[in-house]
Structure 1
Amino acid sequence: MIDSQDLIEVDHLYKSVADSTGQLDILRDIDFRVAARETVAIVGASGSGKSTLLSLIAGLDTPTRGTVRLQGQDLFALDEDVRAALRAQKMGFVFQSFQLMPHLSALENVMLPLELAGRRDARTRAAAMLERVGLGARLKHLPKVLSGGEQQRVALARAFVVEPALLLADEPTGSLDHATGQTIVELMFALNQERATTLILVTHDRDIARRCGRTITIEAGCIAQPLAAA
C-alpha cells in the first residue's frame, strides 16, 4: 500500500534514447518515494542521469517505462497541457542558469507565475517575496544589471512565491562563486523550512547534499546501493 504521506512516487523509471551506436540507457529501474516536507539530494558523477531524473520528476520529459506520481496523480497519464498546469500549481524550480526573463524586471519575473495563475495580488506578493530575499531595493532592475547571486535570489523568490508543494533545484550554486553559493544555499534552505516545502536537489556538492535529510546516489543510470557495514 502507498503511504498517504508520500508526495512523490518514482515508480520503476527507465529512460533510453537512440544514438549512433544503438540504444543508450540513461536511467534504469529508478524507484523511490519522497515524503511531504522531506529534503532529498540526488548526487552522482556528470553524465550519470541526475538532471534527466529531475526532468522526469517534473514531467518535463517522458520516460521509456515507469511513471512518476505527484500526490497520487500519474503525471504521464496527463497530456502536456495538463502537466504544465499541474507544474504551475504544485512545483517551483531553481536552475543553475537562473532562467530569468531578460526583458522583465526582478519584480515582473517574480510576478509572472502568479499572473499566469490568475492571482490579483501578484504585485504585492512578488514585492514581499523579493523583500524577503534581500532585494527590496532592486525591484525595477533587469537581470542584466544584477549580479549572479542577485539573479539567483530572484529565481528563489519566483520559485517560492507560488507556495509550491515541491521545489526542484538543479545545481542551484553551479554558476556562483563559493561564498555567494553558500549564501544562496542558506537562503534556499531557510525558505524551504519556512514554507514547509518538499525539496529535491540535484548537486555535485557533497556539503550541500549533507544539508538534506537523505541522499540518493545515481551511478551509470541506477540508484547505487549503500555499502553494508563491515
Structure 2
Amino acid sequence: MSDPIIEVQGVRKEVSDATGTLTILHDIGFTLAARESAAIVGASGSGKSTLLGILAGLDVPTSGRVLLAGTDLFALDEDARADVRARQLGFVFQSFQLLGNLTALENVMLPLELAGHSDARRQATEMLQRVGLGERLGHYPKLLSGGEQQRVALARAFVMRPAVLLADEPTGSLDFATGETVMDLMFELNREAGTTLVLVTHDRGIAARCDRQLRIEAGRLLP
C-alpha cells in the first residue's frame, strides 16, 4: 500500500480574545491516500473551513502536524509553504476567485506562467477546451455566467495537475442544475488527473459521491 498523500496528526486550533480561549478544532487526525476523495461535512461553524485552511497551509494550527506527501507543512516557513502550495495544491472556491482584469485564458495561464512553463498558452487553451469553454477564451469574468466562471476556476486548478485539490463549497453560489454540471465535471477531471480531492460541502448528494465523509461536529471529528 502506498504512503498517504495527506496525514493529519492531532491538529488543534485555538483562538483567544478578551473573553478567553475558544477551541475551534479538537485534536483532528486522519489520513488520505492518493486519488482518494473526501468530503468534510458538518453544520455551519463546526470548523470545516478552518480545517481546509490548515490542510492548505494557509492557516496555522495551535498544535499538531499536517504532512503533504511526507512534507511537514508547519516545519516550513511561509515562503516554503507557498512553494509547496504552488507545486502540489489546487484550489476551487465558492466565489471563484478569478482576476477580473484577466480573460478566461489569462486566468488559467497565470499559474503556469508563475511556474515558468514556456507553453502556458497552449496548456491553458487545451484545458479550457476540456471544460467546454473553447469559445470563451477572450472573455473577462464579468461576461461569464456563474457556472462558466466556476469552470474557468476548475481549469485553472487542474491545469497544474496538482497532487491535491481543495474545494470550499464549490457549488455554493450556483443554482442546482448548474452546480450538478460543475460537480460532474470536477469529478471527471479528478479521475483523469488522479488527484486527491478534499471538499467542504453542506450538500449531502455531493458528499455521498466521495469515497469518504469526514464529519465535523463542534470542532471534533466523529468516528
Alignment TM class, shorter chain as reference = over 0.9
Query: Residue deviations 1:115-148, cap 9 Å, x none?
Result: 0100001000000000000000000100011000
Aligned: 1:122 with 2:127: no
The equivalent residue for 1:100 is 98
Show the 5 A alignment for 1:28-177: 28-177=26-175
Equivalent residue for 1:179, pick from 177, 180, 204: 177
Matched residues, number: 223
Distance across 1 between alignment mates of 2:152 and 2:164: 18
Q: Percent identity?
A: 68
Distance in 2 of aligned mates of 1:99 and 1:21: 34
Q: Of the candidates 4, 7, 13, which is equivalent to residue 6 of structure 1?
A: 4
Coordinate RMSD, CA, aligned: 0.8
2:207 to 206, 209, 224: 209
Deviation at 1:224, TM superposition (A): 1.3
Name structure 2 gaps, 5 residues minimum.
none
Deviation at 1:5, TM superposition (A): 2.3
In 2, Cα distance between the equivalents of 1:169 and 1:20? 33
Q: TM-score, normalised by structure 1?
A: 0.96
User: Following TM superposition, where does structure 1 have runs of at least 4 consecutive aligned residues deviating by more than 4 angstroms?
Assistant: none
User: What amino acid does structure 2 have at the position aligned with 1:86?
Assistant: V
Q: Secondary structure at the match of 2:49?
A: helix
SS at match of 2:197: strand
Deviation (angstroms), 1:21: 1.8
Deviations 1:207-226 (A, max 9, x none): 0000000001000000012x
Distance 2:111 2:78 in 1: 18
- Give the gaps of 5 or more residues in structure 1: 226-230
- TM-score (ref. length: structure 2): 0.99
1:58-97 alpha-carbon deviations (Å, 9 max, x no partner): 0001000001000110000111111101101001000000
- In the aligned structure 2, how far is the partner of 1:213 from the partner of 1:136? 31
Residue of structure 2 equivalent to 1:228: none
